[in-house]
Amino acid sequence: MNHHVLPPLGLALVTGLMLPWMLVRAVWAQQAPRLGLAVWILCGALFAASTAMLPAQLVLPAHTSHRLVDMALTLDPPSPRRLVDATSREALAALAALAVLAVPGTGFVRELVRARRARTRHAELLRLVGRYDRRLGVTVLEDPRPAVYCLPGRSRRVVVSTGALKMLTERELAAALAHERAHIGGRHHLLVAAAGAYASVFRRLPLARIGGRTVPLLLEMAADDRALRGCSSDALATALYALATGQAPHDAFAAGGPSAAVRMRRILGPRRTGRPVLRGLFAVAASALAILPLVALCCWTG
Q: Measuring CA to CA, how many Å separate 48 from each of 8, 115, 123, 268?
A: 10, 23, 34, 38
Which is more confidently placed, 39 or 283?
Answer: 39
Q: Strand runs (DSSP E) across the chain, as ranges?
A: 130-133, 138-141, 148-151, 157-161, 253-254
Which is more confidently placed, 238 or 279?
Answer: 238
For the beta carbon of residue 210, count every other beta carbon within 10 angstroms. Answer: 19
pLDDT at position 194 is 93
Instruction: Give φ, ψ of 78 to 5 degrees.
Output: -70, 155
Range 239-264 average pLDDT: 80
Give the C-alpha separation, 118 to 103, whole Å: 23
pLDDT at position 62 is 60
13-17, 117-121, 189-193, 274-278: least confident range = 274-278
Range 275-298 average pLDDT: 63
Q: Which pTM does this prediction carry?
A: 0.85
